[in-house]
Amino acid sequence: MRVLLKIFEKISPIFEEGGKLAAIKPLYEAIENFCFAPSAKARCAPFSRDPLDIKRYMTMVIIGLLPCVVASLYFFGLRVIPMIIVSYMTGGTVEVVFSIIRKEPIAEGFLVTGLIFPLILPPATPLWMVALGCAFGVFVGKEVFGGTGRNLFNPAIVGRCFLVLAYPAVMSSSWVKPGHGITGRLLEYVSSANIEAITSATPLVEAKHGLEDMSHMFMGLDISGCLGETSALMILCGGIFLLLTKVANWRTVVSILGSAVIFEAILHRVNPEQFAPGMWHLFAGGLMFGAFFMATDPVSSPSTNEGKWMYGILIGVIVILIRNFSGYVEGMMFAILLGNIAAPIIDEMVFSVRLRLLKNE
Amino acid sequence: MKFRGGYNIRFQGKPGGLLKDILLPEVLYLPLESGSFNFSALCATHGQDVGLGDVLAKDPDNHDIPLLSPTNGKVNLEAAPGHITLEDLSDDSSKSYTYHDELEHIHKKMGSAGLKRYKLLNLGAWEFVKEAYTGQIPNPLSTPQAVIVSTFRLEPFLIRGDVLLKEHLRQFTRGLEHLQSLLAYQPIYLAFPKIKSNFAAKIKEQIRGYAWVKLIEVPLKYPYDSFEIISRHIGLRHSTGSIWGVNVEGVLAIDMALTNSKPCLERAISVAGPGALMSVNLRLPTGYPLSKIKNEYGLQNSIAIDGGVLTGRLLTDDIKGVPTDCRGITFVPEQLGREFLGWLRPGFGRQSYSDCFLSSLCSHFPERLTNAVKGELRPCVSCGFCEDACPAGIMPHQLHKLIYQDDIDAVEKFRIDLCVECGLCSFVCPSKIELMQQFREMKQTILKEKEIAAAEAAKEAALESATEAE
Ligand code: SF4
Ligand code: SF4
């Protein structure tokens, strides 16, 4: 490793001010600091810092997503891999290009966006659409606002919304019947060529005909859906890991899931014919995935704990409203988007209450 | 206010409970500037012979707090810029300066209460008394609404409060009585850690006789020893009058001045930290040469800090002696190598505020702290760690955003003044934002602007009255 460090030290002057390749300094810096812990030292108090940095922070989310990736490989086959690669490459390129233009260091946010984005797409989405959606999401959802930390929306959701609105037909015909047995579809590559795998039915669509078995939905067996959202078990594994590391805030998750289930349960009580039971909705579609991995994105959710409760309840209620009373069968994406829009307003409200309390001190 | 936030960093290198006396060195360097004082009014001349307790300089902005000579010696003003250098030292106390004539004069003029305060100021005890909310030195002639006496100190690597207390329990209680005699009916709050030990029981026993002392039990969590946090906990408001904060060292100095009429010339400081050869508590005179301490106790390649690791200030080579208000010298090793794929490692040995390292599964942390920032500067991701850790109940991330926007009014509205500058927000921030540093600077700016505004208002008022007079 010492050799590698020496190499870095040797070539780093080229990227400094006035060097030949100064323009791509952000890229070089990112690679160097990826390999070796940055050498910066504390110049003012406190003279020592917590070992957690943003790389580690984002890595935790990726680890939390891994069970879902594994599940999607099992259910939907090898096609998952190129989808993830394409998403990372386009997202990364947009990020790097903008960092170079802005002369700012490359932020690690796209590491998470690049992985979440394919996981919320239908399994047979064409690769060019993955690329287009990811680029759009990162560009409009993040870079336009000034990069990571300043974005109003979750970039992955922006990308997915764009695809749904721009290519509704392709999106709704890209569902795949998940594999089963020991190997699942692990050895298959689903594409439009082996069309028999393609179906148009997700549980939420099929709900019109009759409800799926809930235990199947919990495990993800025989249930179609977006790559990452089918197996509630795997989402729980990764999601609880994320809560334990304190990277995702439990308040958001609990309030979304709780309010959605309770609201739906009330509806079910009122009219069991028309509305499904509360627990059923918990396992259907993207509710759980969204609650654990997308709504908890700290940047686009309110920054205060009280705000997170309100934000979660808002999302939970909107999901159920959209699912039951609108033309869309899946509401999580729009619910989070609306939540993102409301986040700054919620924050303002919480701030004003807090400041009033602080005034007396 | 309830106690909230706070965080105990558990690292190796804390000093124990023993205090070591240090022999007098050949020469002392008394810095004219320290963290809280600026002794700009010199009272001694070059080549003058001074005695134990003589006034060498005064701080005109801080009620003329004196810089006392810790020994007998010869003043040299030229040896080190920014310092008063004392040479030919001896601590023969027979030569020491006596206040007697002067004291009688003062007694006649100001009465016994005035005499006490005069003694406190001129015998070097007043510099230990701090305004709880602002950290400034209160006016020696004023009377506070309450006094908080803190018996503990929690910042990593500083000398613990009980080290001195154990040795001088009798003087401490006597000092409390003296302190009470300065007050009319105002209460003294004794902040005491919430622990069960024989020693704690003994102190509580001692205090029970004093009806005017109220015991406040405080959880042992940094920075609940801050006077501001304790006053807010008790419900003492800044707006209703000044609150004095005194720690054990201060009470002992008050006792020394009022019982023995002797100046307090020695400090008890910790010399500790992960970069120290050994961690000890030392009793030494102010101005003790820092180079000696560095050579004897510091490891190579470590930086020296005046104060604790979270709030201290860097001791550069320009500062040659132990400053007046020093509480401890902390050594932190410089980060030398760069870890390969450091962010990916499981991190069994890392202690982190978050639970992102496997060390959160075990309770023992062998990590040796260094001065590395351990990450790159990034925009705030609103992770909320700073708010969680903040003991003042304010929102550091929001303040950071407002400072970035240069919106001073909003910064004030979000109560930057409540920040106690504990450094926890900067410590925990994964984006490595220098939050506390920004807040310190912003508070200075606000203070300055207020001063300018006040001066202008005064000028206008003067003009108006002048025109009215015409
Ligand atoms: S700890 Fe740092 S990144 Fe997290 S909210 Fe506070 S300022 Fe932002
Ligand atoms: S804002 Fe002030 S009081 Fe709060 S954690 Fe930061 S330094 Fe401490």
pLDDT in tens, chain A (361 residues): 777 777 777 777 777 776 677 777 777 777 777 777 777 788 888 888 888 888 888 888 999 999 989 888 888 878 888 899 999 999 888 888 888 888 888 888 788 888 999 998 888 788 888 999 999 998 888 888 877 778 888 889 999 889 888 888 777 777 777 766 666 666 666 665 555 555 555 666 555 555 556 666 666 656 677 777 778 888 888 999 999 888 898 999 999 999 999 998 898 888 887 777 777 778 777 888 889 998 998 888 998 889 999 999 999 999 888 888 876 777 888 899 999 999 999 999 999 998 888 887 7
Closest to B408 measured CA to CA, from B358, B374, B442: B442
Closest to B157 measured CA to CA, from B11, B374, B22, B368: B11
Q: Which DSSP category does A190 fall into?
A: -
The span from the CA of A227 to the CA of A229, in Å, is 6
Domain assignments of chain A as residue spans, ordered by start: 1-49, 54-182+203-353
The span from the CA of A124 to the CA of B342, in Å, is 37
Percent of chain B with pLDDT over 90: 14
The predicted model gives B310-316 an average pLDDT of: 88
Nearest CA in chain A to B310: A46
pLDDT digits (tens, 9 = 90+) for B361-379: 776 665 677 888 888 888 8
Q: What's the CATH code, domain B107-262?
A: 3.40.50
The SS3 assignment for A199 reads strand
The SS3 assignment for A176 reads strand
SS (HEC) of chain B: CCCCCCCCCCCCCCCCCCEEECCCCCCEEEECECCCCECCEECCCCCCEECCCCEEEEECCCCCEEEECCCEEEEECCCCCCEEEEEEEECCHHHCCCCHHHHHHHHHHHHHHHHHHHHHHHCCCHHHCEECCCCCCCCCCCCCCEEEEECCCCCCCCCCHHHHHHHCHHHHHHHHHHHHHCCCCCCEEEEEECCCCHHHHHHHHHHHCCCCEEEEEECCCCCCCCHHHHHHHHCCCCCCCCEEEEEHHHHHHHHHHHHCCCCCCEEEEEEECCCECCCEEEEEECCCEHHHHHHHHECCCEEEEECCCCCCEECCCCCCECCCCCCEEEEEECCCCCCECHHHCCCCCCCCCCCCCHHHHCCCCCCCCCCECCCCCCCCCCCCHHHHHCCCCCCHHHHHHHHHCCCHHHHHHCCHHHCCCCCHHHHHCCCCCCHHHHHHHHHHHHHHHHHHHHHHHHHHHHHHHHHHHC
Closest to B182 measured CA to CA, from B122, B241, B119, B134: B119
The predicted model gives B160-188 an average pLDDT of: 86
Contact A163, A190 (CB under 8 A): no
The span from the CA of B177 to the CA of B267, in Å, is 22
**Structure tokens, B400:** 């950071």
**Structure tokens, A161:** 């919304």
CB-CB under 8 Å, B377 with A50: no
CB-CB under 8 Å, B380 with A246: no
Q: Report the first-to-last Cα separation within chain A, whole angstroms.
A: 55
The partner residue sitting opposite A51, judged by closest CB among B357, B385, B395, is B357
Nearest CA in chain B to A242: B356
Is the omega angle on the peptide bond into residue B223 within 30 degrees of 0, that is, cis?
Answer: yes
Interface mutation vs chain A, best among B382, B429, B442, most A CBs within 10 Å: B382
CB proximity A1 to B under 8 Å: yes
Look at residue A194 in the predicted model and tell me its pLDDT.
57
Nearest CA in chain B to A31: B341
CA angle B258, B262, B265 (to 5 degrees): 120
Q: What is the ipTM of this complex?
A: 0.86
Contact B91, B24 (CB under 8 A): yes
The continuous run of DSSP H or E covering A67 comes out as helix A54-76
The span from the CA of A240 to the CA of B372, in Å, is 31
Q: Residue B68 pairs with which residues in a beta bridge?
A: B55
Contact A131, A148 (CB under 8 A): no
Q: How many beta carbons lie within 10 A of that of residue B64, not counting itself?
A: 15
The partner residue sitting opposite B430, judged by closest CB among A40, A41, A53, is A53
Q: Report the first-to-last Cα separation within chain B, whole angstroms.
A: 53
Interface mutation vs chain B, best among A33, A53, A61, A299, most B CBs within 10 Å: A53
**What one-letter code names the amino acid at B358?**
L
Domain assignments of chain B as residue spans, ordered by start: 107-262, 376-470
pLDDT digits (tens, 9 = 90+) for A174-224: 777 776 666 666 666 666 555 555 555 566 655 555 555 666 666 665 667
More confident residue, A254 or B192: A254
Tell me the pLDDT band of B164, cut-offs 50, 70 and 90: confident
The span from the CA of A263 to the CA of A265, in Å, is 5
**Structure tokens, B168:** 């001088």
The predicted model gives B229-252 an average pLDDT of: 89
The span from the CA of B123 to the CA of B261, in Å, is 8
The predicted model gives B152-176 an average pLDDT of: 85
- Mutate which of B376, B388, B400, B436 to test ligand 1's pocket (most atoms within 8 Å of Cβ)? B400
- φ, ψ of residue B373 to 5 degrees: the values are -80, -25
| Residue found by looking up tokens 């506390």 in the block | B436
Q: Which DSSP category does A69 fall into?
A: H
- Which residue blocks in A142-231 are alpha helix, DSSP H? 155-166, 168-172, 203-206, 214-219
State how beta strands B243-247 and B130-131 pair. Answer: antiparallel
Q: How many Å separate Cα A79 from the centre of its chain? A: 19
CB proximity B91 to A under 8 Å: no
Look at residue B425 in the predicted model and tell me its pLDDT.
93
Look at residue A186 in the predicted model and tell me its pLDDT.
65
CB proximity B369 to A under 8 Å: yes
Look at residue A254 in the predicted model and tell me its pLDDT.
93
Closest to B128 measured CA to CA, from B265, B13, B259: B265
The span from the CA of A296 to the CA of A148, in Å, is 15
Length of chain A: 361
More confident residue, A179 or B291: B291
Q: Is the pLDDT of residue B399 over 80?
A: yes
Tell me the pLDDT band of B426, cut-offs 50, 70 and 90: very high
Look at residue B165 in the predicted model and tell me its pLDDT.
84
Counting from 1 in the atom list of ligand 1, the atom nearest the Cα of B400 is 7
**What one-letter code names the amino acid at A59?**
T
Task: Label residue B200 exposed, middle or buried (CB < 10 Å: 0-12, 13-18, 19+).
Answer: middle
CB proximity B20 to A under 8 Å: no
Strand order in the sheet with B130-131: B130-131, B243-247, B146-150, B188-193, B213-218
The predicted model gives B36-43 an average pLDDT of: 88
Indicate if the alpha-carbon torsion angle B454, B456, B459, B465 is positive or negative: negative
Contact B271, B279 (CB under 8 A): yes
The span from the CA of A76 to the CA of B121, in Å, is 80
Cα dist from A127 to A35, A135, A298, B60, B313, whole Å? 30, 12, 29, 74, 55
Look at residue A310 in the predicted model and tell me its pLDDT.
94
- What is B376-470's CATH number, 3.10.20.30, 1.10.1060.10, 3.10.310.70, 3.90.550.10? 1.10.1060.10
Chain A residue numbers touching B314 (CB-CB < 8 A): 43-44, 47
CB-CB under 8 Å, B373 with A49: yes
Look at residue B100 in the predicted model and tell me its pLDDT.
59
Atom 6 in ligand 2: residue holding the nearest Cα: B425
| Beta carbons within 8 Å of A348's beta carbon, 6+ residues apart | none
Contact B169, B249 (CB under 8 A): no
